[in-house]
């Protein structure tokens, strides 16, 4: 899947969730940075970084991120986003508590 396959609100939620995941433990490791760059190339680099900037501005807190995530209703998009987030969480070979909590929260929100 690429960002072109997503609706604008899905792209915003995706970018916000990715942004939150890479910041979850407060440290961006070299492996996480590499995974983020790889993800950007896979989904469309220029658009990805634009979406990340948009998410930073539009989703400044967890309440806004929660609203955005709740608006993602297509099951295939939810599954894809979740899979991407698991990959980001495991990029450095270790899923931290904050990353696990984000995934647990999203799984409960989306009923995965």
Nearest-angstrom CA–CA distance, 107 and 112? 5
- Give mean pLDDT, residues 56-75: 95
User: In the chain, where are the structural domains located?
Assistant: 3-110
Res 108: pLDDT: 96
For the domain 3-110, what is the CATH code? 1.10.3680
Q: Cβ–Cβ contacts within 10 Å for residue 79, how many?
A: 13
Res 44: pLDDT: 83
**What spatial distance separates the first Cα and last Cα of the chain, rounded to whole Å?**
19
Res 55: pLDDT: 95
Read off the pLDDT of residues 16-30 as tens digits, 9 standing for 90 and up. 999 999 888 777 888
Res 70: pLDDT: 97
- Give mean pLDDT, residues 32-43: 90
Is residue 12 very low, low, confident or very high in pLDDT (cuts 50, 70, 90)? very high
């Amino acid at each position: 899947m690429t960002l072109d396959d997503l609706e604008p609100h899905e792209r915003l939620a995706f970018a916000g969730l990715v942004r939150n995941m890479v910041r979850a433990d407060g440290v961006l490791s070299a492996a996480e940075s590499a995974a983020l760059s790889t993800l950007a190339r896979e989904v469309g680099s220029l658009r990805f970084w634009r979406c990340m900037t948009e998410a930073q501005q539009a989703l400044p807190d967890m309440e806004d991120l929660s609203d955005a995530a709740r608006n993602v209703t297509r099951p295939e998009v939810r599954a894809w986003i979740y899979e991407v987030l698991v990959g980001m969480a495991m990029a450095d070979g270790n899923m931290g508590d904050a990353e696990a909590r984000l995934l647990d929260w999203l799984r409960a929100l989306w009923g995965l």
